[in-house]
A and B are shown apart, each in its own frame.
Chain A
Amino acid sequence: MSNVNDENNGEDMSTTSPSKNSLSSVAASHAANRQPGNAPLGSGLEARGIHAWFGKHHALADVSLDFAAGTVTALIGPSGCGKSTFIRTLNRMHEFIPSAAMAGEVLLDGKDIYESGVDVTKIRLQIGMVFQKPNPFPSMTIGQNVLSGLKLAQIKSPKSNDDLLEECLTRSGLWSEVKDRLGAHAGGLSGGQQQRLCIARSLAVNPKVLLMDEPCSALDPGSTLRIEDTIGQLAKTMTIIIVTHNMQQAARVSDYTAFFLSDGGPGQMIEVGPTNEIFSRPKDERTENYVSGRFG
């Protein structure tokens, strides 16, 4: 595995130890080598030596991963391997759980989001999240749901509410279905529509990074395809990290794939690389067993 860090100009790689992060560096450098003039928007995110605990249970050990700006990275692995825990450390939602603890650094634009004095609400504005179960706010209408982030974070958008509504709902692929009933309650939407509403809600605050924690696991195949389309569209403007149990989905939507596994102990990141490589010629035997369906 030759180290391609040297050519990497987009990411600050100096703090990465090559031995441990060579594969993730590949992922990052691939992104950085994208066509000039097609410069991705959004921000890169770098996780350094992430450990996570629930009480005394060590759930995740020493995960380092780079997410280059404008890429889609899929986190795959069997249940209980720490994927969701990892993704929740990336926007500090992990600490919402009582007894949860973590170690390591998460760098957004080169700054550690866990540094003392960092306003956690500002971090979550920049790193949005879509959850496994669609969770629109039941007391609000469809329109209010989309704009709720502005109200909750007490920020103002440069655009007018109507423009923002249309833009976010269009980007999440829901506009044509709901444009005539923005004043209806969100509970009347189907599960897939609710999830796209939740995506639109995350987009309204204009995040640089979007975390998706198994966003399609509660949805039918049709809605899943729609959301995957949405992800493809969004990836042009932001960095997306998606946890999924569905390997076909990972193959369809992601540029890079990271494989997580727990051998009974804390979950670890086994391998990361460009998605087609992970699925066609993984370097680790365990990855190969998993992606070829021999277990998990």
Chain B
Amino acid sequence: MTTLDSTLKVKPTKPWKTTKRQLIPSTALLLAAAIATYVIVAVTPMKGKLAYALLFFIFGTGFLAALSYSKRGKSAAKDTIAASVMLTGGILVFLPVVSLVITTIVKGSKGLRPQIFTNTMETTSYSDPLTSGGLLHAILGTLFLILIATVISLPLSVLTALYLTEIKGKASGLIQFLIQAMSGVPSVVAGIFIYAALLLTTNLRGSTIIGALPLAILMIPTVTRTAQEVLLLVPNELREAGLALGATQWKTVATIVVPAARNGLITAVILGVARIAGETAPLLFTLGTADKINWNIFSGGQNALPYYVWSGLIDGTESGLARSWTGILVLLILVLLLFVSARLFGSRKVK
């Protein structure tokens, strides 16, 4: 039993974690790089944050590469440089997002009070103090718009994607081309299209449902292309298995292919909603406007969070701008909540 006991005492030592002692040289070198950067910016005409960042990148990479070279040779130095470049690239991409979110939170939280979720702008103007008014009507409007646009575009998009991936009919090439062209349409053009096609030529006035139409137009190519991708990921063996069991193609698609692609299709909808949730331009032509809650989606103007943000911006006063920032923050949170709930809902059944 002594062997077993001594065996049990062995602790995992591999893979080798970097010890604190091993970190000392590189930390010292990065510190040296920071000091060198500071000195050089101080004595030369270069200045500004950009100079700091650039010099620190050059010094840090150089020093660490030299360390690797002295320890493990040329290829290790190359490895260090490559890793450093990639890390920098990652940070550069990440920075704007972080900056955007932080700015929105800082500026938007000023107007974030409980009352904005229960009040509307019915009796308040944008320039009034932040203690009055709210954006409940805009939240509801945005939810209506997202819902209607999804209801319109989801079936069309999924059916189109099924046509392209399952039926592969004669018109596939043309439809593929049109879908690609559609995804390049600027949102304002979609708005003007609906405005010219429906509002100028008929007695219709801007309303929730009319406002949702350009959004659906924008959503269709995104959802279609994503749905197409995920349907292509469904293994052909499953289609064959269905057909070999004596199913028609329609039955195979409906009971096997689409359920197998379910999570991907939910992602497609999420991407589509992300595409339209912040759209302002098409709404300016088609939504009409409202300062209070409008439950009737077929008539009367409506408001939406991006529209609310835009109105606050146009107002231009200090509290107008503060309302805009709050609107952006609420929109961010709302979209986040929608995505999280879609994910939870989507992954509940399939393990």
Point out residues on A near B: beta carbons under 8 Å.
Answer: 91, 93, 96, 98, 121-125, 128-129, 131, 133, 135, 137-140, 148-149, 151-155, 185, 187, 198, 201-202, 205
Interchain Cβ contacts under 8 Å between A and B, 12 examples: A124-B244, A131-B244, A135-B235, A137-B238, A139-B256, A139-B350, A152-B246, A152-B252, A152-B255, A153-B251, A187-B351, A201-B245
**In the docked arrangement, what's the CA distance between A255 and B59, Å?**
77
Contact call B260/A133, Cβ cutoff below 8 A? no
Q: Point out the residue from A133, A140, A153 that lies within 8 Å of B246, measured CB to CB.
A: A153
Instruction: Check if B275 is an interface residue, CB within 8 A of chain A.
Output: no
Known: A124-B246, A185-B351, A205-B245. A96 touches B240 (CB 8 A): yes
Known: A131-B240, A152-B251. A139 touches B245 (CB 8 A): no
5 more A-B contacts (CB under 8 A) besides A139-B256, A140-B259?
A131-B237, A135-B241, A152-B256, A185-B351, A205-B246
Minimum CB distance partner of B351 in chain A? A185
Minimum CB distance partner of A138 in chain B? B260
**In the docked arrangement, what's the CA distance between A151 and B247, Å?**
8
Known: A149-B246, A205-B245. A139 touches B351 (CB 8 A): no
User: Which residues of chain A are within 8 angstroms of B252 by Cβ–Cβ distance?
Assistant: 152
User: Which residues of chain B are within 8 angstroms of A140 by Cβ–Cβ distance?
Assistant: 259
Chain B residues numbered 204-245 whose CB sits less than 8 Å from any CB in chain A: 235, 237-245
Query: Least Cβ distance of A156 to chain B in Å?
Result: 13
User: Which residues of chain A are within 8 angstroms of B241 by Cβ–Cβ distance?
Assistant: 131, 135, 137, 198, 201
Contact call A125/B243, Cβ cutoff below 8 A? no
Contact call A153/B247, Cβ cutoff below 8 A? yes
Give a binary string over B312-344; 1 marks a CB under 8 Å from any A CB, 0 the rest.
Answer: 000000000000000000000000000000000
Query: Least Cβ distance of A194 to chain B in Å?
Result: 11
Instruction: Check if B78 is an interface residue, CB within 8 A of chain A.
Output: no
Query: Least Cβ distance of A127 to chain B in Å?
Result: 9
Instruction: Check if B248 is an interface residue, CB within 8 A of chain A.
Output: yes
Query: Least Cβ distance of A122 to chain B in Å?
Result: 7
User: Which residues of chain B are within 8 angstroms of A202 by Cβ–Cβ distance?
Assistant: 244-245
Give a binary string over B37-60; 1 marks a CB under 8 Å from any A CB, 0 the rest.
Answer: 000000000000000000000000
User: Which residues of chain A are within 8 angstroms of B255 by Cβ–Cβ distance?
Assistant: 148, 151-152
**In the docked arrangement, what's the CA distance between A65 and B261, Å?**
40
Contact call A149/B245, Cβ cutoff below 8 A? yes
Query: Least Cβ distance of A243 to chain B in Å?
Result: 14
Contact call A129/B244, Cβ cutoff below 8 A? yes
Interface size class, chain B = 20 to 34
Query: Least Cβ distance of B138 to chain A in Å?
Result: 38
Contact call A121/B248, Cβ cutoff below 8 A? yes
Contact call A135/B247, Cβ cutoff below 8 A? no
Point out residues on B near A: beta carbons under 8 Å.
Answer: 168, 235, 237-248, 251-252, 255-256, 259-260, 262, 350-351
Minimum CB distance partner of B252 in chain A? A152
Contact call B245/A133, Cβ cutoff below 8 A? no
Q: Point out the residue from B168, B235, B243, B259 that lies within 8 Å of A139, measured CB to CB.
A: B259
Max count, chain A CB within 10 A of own CB: residue among B245, B255, B256, B351: B245
**In the docked arrangement, what's the CA distance between A152 and B244, Å?**
10
**In the docked arrangement, what's the CA distance between A185 and B238, Å?**
15
Known: A121-B247, A185-B351. A152 touches B259 (CB 8 A): no
Known: A139-B350, A151-B255, A152-B251. A128 touches B245 (CB 8 A): yes
User: Which residues of chain B are within 8 angstroms of A138 by Cβ–Cβ distance?
Assistant: 238, 260, 350
User: Which residues of chain B are within 8 angstroms of A98 by Cβ–Cβ distance?
Assistant: 168
Query: Least Cβ distance of A239 to chain B in Å?
Result: 16
Contact call A91/B244, Cβ cutoff below 8 A? yes
Contact call A152/B237, Cβ cutoff below 8 A? no
**In the docked arrangement, what's the CA distance between A123 and B241, Å?**
14
Known: A139-B259, A148-B245. A154 touches B251 (CB 8 A): yes
User: Which residues of chain A are within 8 angstroms of B239 by Cβ–Cβ distance?
Assistant: 96
Contact call B243/A124, Cβ cutoff below 8 A? yes
User: Which residues of chain B are within 8 angstroms of A122 by Cβ–Cβ distance?
Assistant: 246
Sort A-B residue pairs by CB-CB distance and give the 7 closest, nearest first: A152-B247, A125-B246, A139-B259, A129-B244, A153-B246, A135-B237, A149-B245
Q: Point out the residue from B243, B262, B350 that lies within 8 Å of A93, measured CB to CB.
A: B243
**In the docked arrangement, what's the CA distance between A122 and B168, Å?**
24
